[in-house]
A and B are shown apart, each in its own frame.
Chain A
Amino acid sequence: MAYSFPEEVLEHVFSFLSSDKDRNAVSLVCKSWYEIERWCRRKIFIGNCYAVNPRIMIRRFPEVRSIELKGKPHFADFNLVPEGWGAYVYPWILAMSKSYPLLEEIKLKRMVITDESLELIAKSFKNFKVLVLSSCDGFTTDGLAAIAANCRNLRELDLGESEVEDLSGHWLSHFPDSCTSLVSLNIACLVSEVSFLALERLVARSPNLRTLRINRAVPLEKLPYLLRRTSQLVEFGTGAYSADVRSDYFSNLTEAFSGCKQLKCLSGFWDVVPAYLPAIYPVCSRLTSLNLSYATCQNPELGKLISQCHNLQRLWVLDYIEDFGLEELAANCKDLQELRVFPSDPFAAEPNVTLTEQGLVAVSDGCPKLQSVLYFCRQMTNAALFTIARNRPNMIRFRLCIIEPRTPDYLTLGPLDAGFGAIVENCKELRRLSLSGLLTDRVFEYIGTHAKKLEMLSIAFAGDSDLGLHHVLSGCESLRKLEIRDCPFGDKALLSNAAKLETMRSLWMSSCSISFEACKMLAQKMPRLNVEVIDERGPPDTRPESCPVEKLYIYRSVAGRRFDTPGYVWVKKQL
């Protein structure tokens, strides 16, 4: 029996399908379903802002309420993408201001957003609720003032790790007294002092506030004033965690924290004065997430704090935790799912802390739910990687960053191929992998053979030849994002796997051995790919065609080439 449901019934059913995957599947069922679905899709996710354009998006989806856009490639975080490369959000905001008057949410990652864009948002969307700017740049606090002043129903303002030109803290006072809708406010990345009084009043009139992350400039002794007014917080980020050691400050702070019965997540902690850490002890047992990546405190205070957080699921911390602290973590935090250990002094010639492979092995051993790791360290062995792989076959994200490039296994002095091989072979659900240390083409053979669910791979200073790249491109079936720097990968592997690139979101290669000639050939062969040659040394034709390009960014797109490239980027027609 064929079911032809009334349109409104299907629309209602579809409204319970939130994942893009489901909506995409539904859109292909038949023509009428495609039509119904496109009119009722409210949430759009675009993983590469240049893979499509505003006109195409609006034409297909006329009634969108929420949009998420990602711009620059991930290696922009390491300053590998030059200034002015692109990812401007203004054209999107402009188009949406005309077509999506009911837009409520904008979430951006690694995009350039100007004050003009912010002002346009503030003016155009009467029901605007959520603005999340993750690792964005291009705007000042004036733009934030426009948002604060005009978005009457603002629920969420999250500045993430954005780079904001901080003209003054005055912008916060632009929230009108009538604004009482805030649920989440994250201004941790701002440098300037905001008016504390304005902040306190804003917090006091926001009964739904659940997330508050203040900036470094807010002093420790002021925290109780905030916490007392908003004791229903679930996530809190402190400012500078330092003050003169005074017993009244301490008792006020402890009392204030004790009053926060819903608190699950803490962050902030710049400039930690260890004497104040015990003020948090009352909430430790409830914490599921702790971000100490700015906290310069060391053991024993650091270890003591963490070991009280028995329900911890996520920990971000500096390597001051050392192997010892990680062993304590392994012993006390059995629910741990995600661990990130950042380097306190990555440029030091000698290690300044005792953080080795042992710490990670201990955590992999003691924490059965561990599935996501980002670990900066200075030494590693294949043996340790074998152990980690064996302990944690449930690993989903594994990012190992041995600070010095091409560091060998310090016991065997050989490459770490086998160790990473064990990781990909045992961890069958692995979705994301970052490699480091001394690695030959062998490791890529292992990856191509075993890492069938791998979606994102980061490679630096690894491999011997094109074969390495070939293994990855021909073997990793689920690969979506590949980013490579300083590897001897060349034209042959790229050109013979050209078709693969249409199955991926993007490929980044910098300081490799890809020639300009190969880029031209690739662009010619694969018209639906955007091949961007990024070279600040001047026009590629001033060098021999065989000369390797500085940087290469290739991505599939339904929008064709972009027209906002700076002078040092060469695309299609020019190639």
Chain B
Amino acid sequence: MITLQSSDKDVFEIEQSILIQSGTIKNMVEDDFTFIPLPSVDTETLIKIIEYMKKHADKTDSKEKNIKEFDKDFMKKTLNELFALVFAANYLHISSLLELLYPSIADRIKDKITEAIRQIFSIRCDFTPEEERRIIMDNKWAHEGTEIEGTLD
């Protein structure tokens, strides 16, 4: 059994066989660590990560459909939750979870205008108006298609 400690100082005891899905934890286990502090992962997120790894630990054929359903539901989270998960999964090197998270986050960006994307990610625009104008021009004039482009004609 391995003990994980969240940034909120909550502890969780989990079987080693489940946790080795995390590349980071796997390395530490191989170095004989049994107590692993995770100062960058809060309790709420850690609980979800553990839930994910538990479900994915048992990968027999019969469970595959089951797992797919679980994954689909698992992604039904708020954007903030997804962000917290992607930070954690990136740090913990859980590649299968990352493979799920990337397209889910991409879906929230699709078909959105730049300002909306900035708001979602709480990012401030650091372009000067002139720089922004230049890029808009480049995007539109060189690289913009029409709605019906790519169809014959």
What residues of chain A have their CB less than 8 Å away from a CB belonging to chain B?
1-3, 5-6, 8-9, 12-17, 19-22, 24-31, 33-34, 44-47, 51-52, 56-57, 60, 74, 372, 396-397, 431-432, 453, 455-456, 480-481, 505, 556-558
Contacts and interface: CB of A to CB of B under 8 A. Distances in A.
Contacts of A27: 135, 139
A17 B117 CA distance: 13
A16 B102 contact: yes
Given A22-B110, A45-B145, A29 B138 contact: no
Contact of B148 (A57, A455, A556, A557): A455
B134 to A, nearest CB: 9
Contact of B143 (A24, A30, A397): A24
B146 A456 contact: yes
A57 B142 contact: yes
Select the residue from A15, A25, A52, A397 with max chain B CB neighbours within 10 A.
A25
11 contacts: A1-B80, A3-B121, A6-B90, A8-B90, A9-B86, A22-B112, A24-B139, A28-B114, A29-B117, A52-B141, A455-B147
B128 to A, nearest CB: 10
B148 A397 contact: yes
Given A28-B127, A57-B142, 15 more contacts: A15-B106, A20-B145, A21-B145, A29-B125, A30-B126, A31-B126, A47-B149, A51-B141, A372-B151, A396-B148, A431-B146, A432-B148, A453-B147, A480-B146, A558-B137
Given A28-B127, A29-B114, A30-B124, A5 B86 contact: yes
B153 interface: yes
A15 B114 contact: no
B98 interface: yes
Given A13-B109, A17-B109, A34-B135, A26 B145 contact: no
Interface of B, helix, strand, loop or mixed by DSSP? helix
Contacts of A15: 102, 106
A3 B114 contact: no
B132 A22 contact: no
Contact of A25 (B112, B121, B142, B151): B112
A25 B109 CA distance: 9
Contacts of B123: 2-3, 29-30, 33
B122 A31 contact: no
A22 B146 contact: no
Contacts of B153: 74
Task: Report the interface size class on chain B.
Answer: 35 or more
A52 B142 contact: yes
A498 to B, nearest CB: 16
Contact of A481 (B86, B141, B142, B146): B146
Nearest to B149: A47
B48 interface: no
Contacts of B112: 22, 25
A14 B135 contact: no
Contacts of B55: none
B11 to A, nearest CB: 26
Contacts of A33: 123
B61 interface: no
B83 interface: yes
B28 interface: no
Interface of A, helix, strand, loop or mixed by DSSP? mixed
A559 to B, nearest CB: 8
A557 B137 CA distance: 9
Given A27-B139, A28-B135, A431 B147 contact: yes
A51 to B, nearest CB: 5
B87 to A, nearest CB: 8
B111 interface: yes
A397 B146 CA distance: 13
A46 B143 CA distance: 5
A6 B86 CA distance: 10
A365 B126 CA distance: 54
B37 interface: no
Select the residue from A431, A456, A557, A558 with max chain B CB neighbours within 10 A.
A558
Contacts of A25: 109, 112-114, 117
A572 B145 CA distance: 26
Contacts of B147: 431, 453, 455
Given A1-B122, A3-B121, A13-B109, A455 B132 contact: no
Contacts of B57: none
Contacts of A57: 142
B19 to A, nearest CB: 22
Interface in B45-92: 80, 83, 86-87, 90
Contacts of A45: 143, 145, 149
B99 to A, nearest CB: 9
A462 to B, nearest CB: 20
A28 B129 CA distance: 11
A30 B135 contact: no
B102 A13 contact: yes
B4 to A, nearest CB: 21
A64 to B, nearest CB: 11
Contacts of B1: none
B93 to A, nearest CB: 11
Contact of A47 (B86, B124, B146): B146
A371 B104 CA distance: 32
Contacts of B122: 1-3
Contacts of A456: 146, 148
B144 interface: yes
B104 to A, nearest CB: 9
B118 interface: yes
B136 interface: yes
Select the residue from A19, A20, A44, A74 with max chain B CB neighbours within 10 A.
A20
B105 interface: yes
A24 B141 CA distance: 11
Select the residue from A2, A16, A432, A557 with max chain B CB neighbours within 10 A.
A16
